């Protein structure tokens, strides 16, 4: 933990109305104040309550709590309670005259409630409950011991990437973004160092966000493994499961017909909503079925429908157009139709004469793999499945950790130094 001279900070919260206080003085950026009064502004009658709740105050030591108050000319009583993290740490009950020696309907007096040091982990609450008309709150004055500025050490694998120190206590630090590699993609900063795991890490902090600290921390850059893939288009037609895409705009047919249209989505070879069974009954004729819903994709006039109708096929090289004839006009199943009202793209039937070199393609889907996470992309994928497969009873898995390898066979583990 950073060491330094601890200074006293005086935080003042002046009552503006029944739902608002105005902070002033030395209020750290992390502290947020919420105020409420059951009557009006700072007036507390018998049966009323006013309450100030401070959050983001974790790690601070409270030295004192005072309230600037007055009463009616001849009355005013209640109970002032201070709680830290839900536990009562100070109370003051009685009349205003008990506290100051006399009732005063004109001048405000400082009423001291907490006079000893109290450590707060999360939340401080000051409440005033009225028992006799009336008490009037002008402001809350809270003195705290300023905690030191904290430091985050950022690790990239086994190396220190950077250290970030708060500009002042409670200011927090802005976590940076890290570059991806070809197969490992940065997803955030982890409080825990680990090699290969198959669940999203807990306590993961996203980059380009301010992290507030109550102690010094070490964080590790965390990555998810995505195998580098290239989109592959069909060059030889045969029945199978494909995505129907516009390769120039990276659009893909998605879902099933609704209201005579279909959705256009960004092409994602892992998205099963974009998978279609294309059955070629002739080289130039096909039927389309949405794989996930087993719904046929056809048309009635210019409207797309969940009915089985044949589609004509134009294919040359990587190009594949699916089309039909409506009233003697050639109409292509087209992905980038633009709705003039919503300015959103949709899929419909576009009247067009035959043309070559269009961007329409059939694309192969990619098999979804079990996601892997790591703080050590420098070790590579860090996992190799040898014959037998990870899910079979004769599991054999090799996991790499720097100069070591962990072999697991049928649940038995063996750690070896790599040669």
Q: How far apart are CA 40 and CA 18, in angstroms?
A: 5
User: pLDDT value at position 167?
Assistant: 87
Q: pLDDT by residue (tens digit) across 117-167?
A: 999 988 999 999 999 999 999 999 999 987 778 999 999 999 999 999 998
**How high is the mean pLDDT of the chain?**
87
Q: How far apart are CA 205 and CA 188, in angstroms?
A: 5
Q: pLDDT by residue (tens digit) across 23-64?
A: 999 898 879 999 999 999 999 999 999 999 999 887 789 999
CATH number at residue 109: 2.60.120.260
* Whether residue 269 is found in the same domain as residue 355: yes
User: pLDDT value at position 306?
Assistant: 97
* Whether residue 291 is found in the same domain as residue 387: no
User: pLDDT value at position 282?
Assistant: 92
User: Which position has the higher pLDDT, 228 or 289?
Assistant: 289
Burial group, residue 281, by CB count within 10 angstroms (0-12, 13-18, 19+)? exposed
* Whether residue 161 is found in the same domain as residue 141: no
pTM of the model: 0.45
Q: Which residues contact 214 (CB under 8 A, 6 or more apart)?
A: 58, 59, 121, 147, 150
231: left (phi over 0), alpha (psi -120 to 50) or beta: beta
User: Which position has the higher pLDDT, 341 or 22?
Assistant: 22
Of 173, 257, 186, 181, the residue nearest 224 (C-alpha):
186
Burial group, residue 149, by CB count within 10 angstroms (0-12, 13-18, 19+)? middle
377 in any annotated domain: no
191 in any annotated domain: yes
* Whether residue 248 is found in the same domain as residue 310: yes
Q: How far apart are CA 321 and CA 356, in angstroms?
A: 10
317 in any annotated domain: yes
Taking each continuous run of H as one helix and of E as one strand, the counts in the chain are 1, 36
**Among 168, 196, 225, residue at a domain's last position:** 225
Q: How far apart are CA 205 and CA 98, in angstroms?
A: 51
* Whether residue 60 is found in the same domain as residue 177: no
* Pairing verdict, β 109-114 and 329-338: unpaired
- Domain span at 404: 382-417
234 in any annotated domain: no
Number of domains observed in the structure of the chain: 4
* Whether residue 358 is found in the same domain as residue 394: no
Cα 21 from chain centre: 31
25: left (phi over 0), alpha (psi -120 to 50) or beta: left
User: pLDDT value at position 368?
Assistant: 61
| Greatest mean pLDDT range, 45-49, 170-174, 339-343, 375-379 | 45-49
Of the ranges 140-154, 229-243, 383-397, which one carries the lowest mean pLDDT score?
A: 383-397
Q: pLDDT by residue (tens digit) across 341-359?
A: 777 889 999 988 877 789 9
User: In the chain, what is the straight-line distance between the N-terminal and C-terminal CA atoms, in Å?
Assistant: 40
What mean pLDDT do residues 83-92 have?
Answer: 96
User: pLDDT value at position 381?
Assistant: 56
């Amino acid at each position: 933990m950073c060491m330094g001279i601890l200074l006293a900070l005086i935080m003042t919260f002046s009552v503006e109305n029944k739902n608002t206080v105005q902070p002033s003085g030395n209020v750290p950026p992390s502290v947020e104040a919420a105020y409420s009064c059951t009557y009006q502004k700072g007036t507390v009658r018998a049966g009323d309550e006013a309450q100030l709740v401070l959050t983001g105050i974790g790690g601070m030591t409270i030295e004192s709590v005072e309230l600037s108050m007055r009463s009616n000319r001849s009355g005013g009583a209640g109970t002032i309670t201070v709680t830290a993290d839900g536990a009562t740490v100070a109370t003051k009950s009685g009349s205003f005259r008990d506290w100051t020696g006399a009732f005063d309907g004109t001048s405000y007096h400082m009423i001291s409630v907490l006079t000893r040091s109290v450590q707060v982990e999360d939340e401080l609450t000051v409440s005033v409950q009225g028992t006799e008309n009336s008490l009037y709150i002008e402001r809350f004055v809270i003195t705290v011991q300023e905690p030191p500025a904290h430091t985050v050490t950022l690790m990239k694998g086994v190396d220190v990437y950077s250290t970030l120190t708060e500009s002042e206590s409670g200011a927090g630090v802005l976590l940076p973004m890290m570059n991806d590699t070809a197969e490992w993609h940065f997803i955030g900063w982890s409080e825990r160092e680990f090699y290969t795991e198959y669940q999203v890490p807990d306590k993961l902090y996203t980059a380009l966000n301010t992290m507030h600290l109550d102690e010094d921390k070490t964080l590790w850059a965390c990555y998810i493994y995505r195998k580098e893939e290239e989109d592959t288009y069909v060059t030889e037609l045969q029945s199978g499961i494909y995505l129907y895409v516009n390769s120039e705009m990276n659009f893909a047919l998605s879902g099933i017909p609704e209201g005579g249209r279909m959705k256009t989505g960004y092409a994602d070879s892992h998205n099963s909503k974009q998978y279609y069974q294309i059955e070629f009954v002739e080289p130039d004729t096909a039927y389309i079925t949405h794989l996930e819903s087993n719904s046929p994709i056809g048309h009635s006039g210019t409207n797309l429908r969940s009915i089985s109708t044949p589609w004509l096929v134009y294919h040359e090289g990587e190009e594949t157009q699916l089309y039909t004839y409506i009233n003697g006009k050639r109409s292509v199943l087209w992905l980038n139709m633009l709705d003039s009202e919503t300015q959103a793209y949709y899929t419909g039937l576009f009247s067009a004469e035959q043309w070559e070199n269009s961007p329409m393609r059939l694309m192969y889907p990619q098999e979804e793999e079990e996601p892997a996470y790591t703080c050590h992309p420098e070790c590579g994928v860090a996992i190799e499945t040898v014959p037998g497969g990870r899910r079979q009873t004769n599991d054999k898995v090799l996991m790499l950790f720097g100069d070591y390898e962990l072999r697991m066979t049928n649940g038995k583990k063996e750690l070896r130094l790599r040669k």
